[in-house]
Each structure stands twice: as C-alpha cells, then as structure tokens.
Structure 1
Amino acid sequence: MGKRISLILFCLFGLFCGLTSSAGAGASSDIPSLFHAARIDRDMTFCGEKAELDRNDTRQRMEKQMLLTLWNRPQVVLWIKRANRYFPVIEQKLKENEMPEDLKYIALVESGLRPHAGSARGAVGFWQFTRSTGEKYGLQIDSQKDERRNILQSTDAAISYLKTLYRVFGSWTLAAAAYNMGEHGLQAEIMVQENSDFYDLYLSLETQQYVFRILAAKRIMTEPEQYGFDFLPGDLYPPLAYKEVSVMCFDLTPVAIVAKAADTSFKVIKDLNPQLRGHYLAAGQHLIHVPEGSAKGFDKRFQSLMKTWDKDQENRVYVVKQGDNLSAIAERFNVPLPALIIWNDLDHRQNIHPGDRLVIRSRQGDF
C-alpha cells in the first residue's frame, strides 16, 4: 500500500510539472517552487483592510489557498487573459461608484470571469447571482434574457449589493464573506459568537476560505511574473469592443435578423450579448451590442430585413390539422424537428392543436 501511495504521489508530481511547463504562452520556465509560492512574507490587504496573517490558523489558511490556486496554473493563465478583457469594465464602474478596486477579485473567484458560469445552487454569471438576489437588484431573469450573464448589468447589480452589505457590516471583508454565505447567516453568526472579526469567526469551511481565495487571487494577479506567469501584450484577450444599438421589436424577432443587420453572424451577436437566451427577441425595446463599425446604417438594414421577413412569413405558414404532431409535420416537410421547434419558439413538450399556425422556413411539397 505504501509503495502504491508513493507511486500515485510521484505521478501527480509529474502531472503538475507537465502542467507548469506547458500552461501556455504566459508560463515562464522559471517557475518558483511551491515552498516559495506559499511563503507569506509581507502584509496583505483587501480593500484597504489589513488581513490578519500573523496567527498560525490564518497563515495556514492563506498558505493553503496560495498552493491550491497555483496548483491549477492553466486556470490562472485563463484568469489573466480574461482579466484584460473584463477588468477594465469592472474597474470603471467601481471608480464611478467610489468603491475599492479590490472588489473586482470577487467576480474573478466567483466565476473565473465566465459569463455562462453556473453553480449547483443555481447561481449564474460573472458575479454568480442566484435568481432571487439578481431580481432583487434589478436583473431581468426569464426565458428571454438572463442579465446575470452581462458584464455591465451584473456589475451594476453587484455594486448595489456590495454597497448594501457594507452598510450593514461596516467592513469590506465582512461584506465579501456575506456575499458568499448571505447577510442573514453572517449576521446570525456574529450575534451568536459575539464577535465581528472575520478572521476570528467560526463559519462554514467555504466561507472561512473565501476571503483567502480573494487574497490569493489578488496577490497572483498583481504580481504574475513572481509566480512564473510572463505575458506579452498579444497573449491577452483584447478588451471588449462594441457599439450599442437600439432595436424595437413589434413581435417576436429572430436574433438572426439582428445579426444580418449588423453584417455579422448569429454567434457574434450571442457572444457580445450573453444575456440573450434562445433564438428570438421578445416584443419591446432592446439595447444590443454589435461589432464596432456595424452600428452605422444598422437601423435601416434592420427595418428592410424585417419587412422582407414579415412578408416571407405569410407564405410559410402551415395550419395544423386533426391528427398532426410536430414529428409528423417535420417529417412531411423534410425539415429537422429541432428547427421546426426553433422557428416557432416552441417547447418540445408542448402540444399543438388543430388551427395552430406553424412557420416552416424550408420545405418540400405544397401545403
């Protein structure tokens, strides 16, 4: 058994060495040892509040988080690359609200700066809002849009939430802990333990490590070269670049038409607007991001495309008859069932009834 464990540890060490030597363009060949990386040799702060690292228990928690973070070097490489794209947006909004810049690291540890990140608890997006908290702070979350995935709108909501938490607790460190575990839970622990020092509170293991995860991320991200991450400007993902256009929809409108009006692809529109769900925009006014250079003339192209599409729709309507079902209709007109469902914005479990009108964009044969 002892030999087997030694072999496993040796293989893991070999895997780690392989990862560190091939983590991407940002990985230096001069990677500091784990012993050096874990060494806490200076004071650290979060939002100007000094971290209490002079005690054995807090130092151990900090060392653990540094080691765990640096173990996953590919993750750190992606953090640094994505930060060049998204941090400028977050930093600007924090500055406008006169809030500490360190709060940006909450988004980093929550989602890795991934718009579609999700958790088992139903949290989604850059700042990992649950539905209830997101809606409480003004985010639209429904079948058409999920603004938790939009860096601008979700950051506005996170700033409002963090302001509330700071007013309640009077400390950014406690506000971060409350962001992780919920303000009511943290208030209860403070009252029961009669202690309001985060570093001296006994909380869930996840929340006890949460601030240290943020501190580790801050230290590595502010001094990446010290940990073997050497990047050239071209290695980093470019900052967000787009123009915002206003789109008025009088009925359900295909995102594909928005893409054509912007002289781009469906995928580009979805990537620039990760809050959009599905293939359609609901009736109403929408602010949509389009590639730079495509905003000029967008409205004229959009109106022209919509007129053509509306007229074309009239010639592609099939009226459901007795005994029809979606699979049979798709087979009859030689179209994929998923396409039929998307064209008509249906749920695959949805029943259809005689007299219903279905759009079929491509077909063989006559109605």
Structure 2
Amino acid sequence: MTTLFFSGPALASDKAGTIPTLLESLRLEQKLFFCGEAVPLDDPEVRESMEKELMLSLWDRDQAVLWLKRSTRYLPVIEALLSEAGLPDDLKYIALAESALRPHVGSPKGAIGFWQFLPETGRRYGLTINESIDQRRNLTASTRAAMAYFAKLYEKFGSWSLAAAAYNMGEEGLQAEILVQDVSNFYRLYLPQETQRYLFRVLSAKLILTQPERYGFHLQEGDYYPPTRFATVELICPGETSLTVVAKAAQTDFKRIKELNPELRGHYLAAGTHTLAVPENTPLGFQERFNKIHQEWSQQRQKRIYIVQSGDNLSTIAEKFGVPLAAVLIWNRIDINRTLHPGDRLVIYPVESRTVRP
C-alpha cells in the first residue's frame, strides 16, 4: 500500500486586499508566452482578444478564486506528469480553461472530466470508458491521455498554439482551415469563434494563477484547498460488489470512496482487479477485510430475493417493503421503466434490516 502526498507551491500571503481597476489589470506590460511561444501582443487584434478574455475572467471573480483555491489540490499532479513527460508546463492551464479543475463537469457534446475528453477520443488515448468506469474523471489517467494527445498534435502542427486550437476544434478541422487559408499561424487564422477565443482564455488563467496579487486576489495559505492525501490498494474482486462493501473494508464511507475514485460510476464495482484510492490511514489487511465483508454481503443478497408476483410493479413492491423506489432501482441496477414479469427476482432490503447493504 503506497501513500501519496502532493504538496502545493509557495502560497501568497499578501494582505493588502486591494483590487486594481479593470484598466490597470488590462495593461499587459510584460511579454507573454504560451509554452515558450511568444504571444504577438504588438498586433492590435491579438491584444484586443487577449484583453477581452482577461476582462471576462476577471469579471467572474468567483470563478477565478476557485481556480486559485483548487490549484494546490490538482495542479501539482499535472505539473509532475508534464515534467516527467518533458512537455511544457503551460499545458496545465488548459485543464483550468476546460473544466475549472472539476472531475465531473460535462458538456452538451458529451465531453467529461478534467480535460473534457469526448468518449471516442478518450478511448483512443487509452482511457477506460464504460458503464462502470470513466477514467476521464481520474486526474492521473486523463492527464496522461491528454499529454499523449498534445504530443501528437504538436508533432503534426509544429506549434503549441496550433496544438491547443486542434485540441479545441479537432485536428482535421484545423488542418482543413490551414490548407484552405494557406496560413499556419494561429494568430492569423480565421477559426470558429470558440477556438479563436480558446487560447486567450487559457492565457488568462495563466496570468491570474501566476500573478494573483497583480489582479487583486490576495489569498493566504489557509485559503487554498489542501492537496489530496490517499493510499492506493490493489483489490481483487471475485464478482460484482457494492461500493459500500469497499468502503467498509477501507473503514470509511461510500462518499469518501467515490470522492477519491471519481472514475467509478454508480454504486457497484465490477469483477476483476482494481487499483483504488483509499484514505491514507487505511489499516493493512484491506483485501482480507474486503473478502470477509463481500462474502457476508453476497450471502445476505441471496436471502433478500423477492419473487415478483402477478400484479406487482416497482412502486407497489417498494411500498410493500417500506423502502424508497429509488433504493429498489439501485439495489437491482434497473431502470424505472422496466416491465416486471411474474417470477422475476429482485433484491429487497426491508427497512428493519440492519445488515451490509449495497
């Protein structure tokens, strides 16, 4: 069992509490770079675009404060992985622009997680995405996938700004615009509005996180969210089990297991071998405790089988046993619209039961 601890960077302790005017904030007096590539702020159109996105980010001060507070929880992990892969540190700001460092955030198009991968793209870069696991929500796995994707995009386009644009709009779409417009400079390409704004939104995040006091964010050390502390365990699961069983084996609760393993979907863990995060103070002997509790849980499920009778439906069955309909759906992993037939078998835990439940 390996304990991991991620420590954050030196934190700001400026107590001045002053907030500069928007005009003061927009005066970009120093050169600006993205992944070592200079941003041509001497171009009036580029400066206007940069100022616009910076202004919008500063206007949403609540969001900017959350960027800063979450940064010490998640960015050290991303920074370490980027450094290990030899990739530019600035790529971490893309995760901020994409998800505000929220593992469960999704888009109308189906993108999910820290790096907002679509399912097909995530699978292409090695992420497991199915009904029980979605690694787009796992910080380490999704960051490794994003790094592989960025490395490929940079190899194809030869520019990190173009790689970022391709990440946003798709590599084929960007390649088509480059060919049609006969331009290979991000700042001179006419692209969809979202993509034209994208890099400047990323750069806004960089400016705020690298110079928080400059923009009126005077956070003290205690204002930042602490890094996540956890241990990792290898779990051999002989059959599908409830995450409540896993939580009891880790001597914690369901909520903590879900928070430490955001890639786990629903209430159950599939059969197989899993690497899981558990509280850092989890005692040794996790597998042995799990085996015992899982066996008890399996035996109890067999004793809680209800045979569907003629005239039954999910609502009447829930009412008969005095349990919420939603609990019946979770225990049996079924949809509320499922048609029941006499003889079907359902797992039901009556209210008076005080045993291990799924």
* 1:332-365 deviation per Cα after TM superposition (whole angstroms, max 9, x unaligned): 1111111111111111122222322211112579
SS at match of 1:105: helix
Q: CA RMSD in A?
A: 1.6
1:118 aligns with 2:106: yes
Number of the residue aligned with 2:51: 63
Contact 1:26–1:235 under 8 Å retained in 2? no
Task: Quote how far apart the aligned CAs of 1:168 are.
Answer: 0.6
Q: Distance in 2 between matches of 1:166 and 1:28?
A: 42
Q: Which runs of 5+ in 1 are unaligned?
A: 1-24
1:43 aligns with 2:31: yes
Number of the residue aligned with 1:72: 60
Number of the residue aligned with 2:291: 303
Number of the residue aligned with 1:138: 126
Q: Which runs of 5+ in 2 are unaligned?
A: 1-12, 354-358
Q: Distance in 2 between matches of 1:98 and 1:351?
A: 55
Q: Distance in 1 between matches of 2:163 and 2:182?
A: 17
Percent of residue pairs bearing the same amino acid type: 54
Number of the residue aligned with 1:201: 189
Match of 2:73 among 77, 85, 98: 85
Aligned residue type for 2:70: R
Number of the residue aligned with 1:172: 160
Number of the residue aligned with 1:318: 306
The 1:305/1:223 distance shift into structure 2, 3 A limit, reads same
The 1:69/1:257 distance shift into structure 2, 3 A limit, reads same
1:96 aligns with 2:101: no
Number of the residue aligned with 1:253: 241
Aligned residue type for 2:322: N
1:265 aligns with 2:229: no
SS at match of 1:242: strand
Runs of 4+ aligned residues of structure 1 deviating over 4 Å after TM superposition are 25-28
With CA pairs under 8 Å and 6+ residues apart, which has the higher RCO, 1 or 2?
A: 2
Contact 1:27–1:229 under 8 Å retained in 2? no
Number of the residue aligned with 1:156: 144
Number of the residue aligned with 1:274: 262
Task: Quote how far apart the aligned CAs of 1:246 are.
Answer: 1.7
Alignment of 1:16-35 (within 5 A): 29-35=17-23
Task: Quote how far apart the aligned CAs of 1:251 are.
Answer: 2.1
Q: Distance in 2 between matches of 1:295 and 1:131?
A: 36
Contact 1:344–1:358 under 8 Å retained in 2? yes
Q: Distance in 2 between matches of 1:134 and 1:260?
A: 32
Q: More displaced, 164-173 or 289-298?
A: 289-298
Q: Distance in 2 between matches of 1:184 and 1:144?
A: 31
SS at match of 1:287: strand
Task: Quote how far apart the aligned CAs of 1:68 are.
Answer: 0.6
* 1:217-246 deviation per Cα after TM superposition (whole angstroms, max 9, x unaligned): 111110111111112221111112111112
The 1:306/1:26 distance shift into structure 2, 3 A limit, reads farther
Contact 1:316–1:361 under 8 Å retained in 2? yes
* 1:193-230 deviation per Cα after TM superposition (whole angstroms, max 9, x unaligned): 10100011111111111111111111111011111111
Aligned residue type for 1:308: E
Number of the residue aligned with 1:109: 97
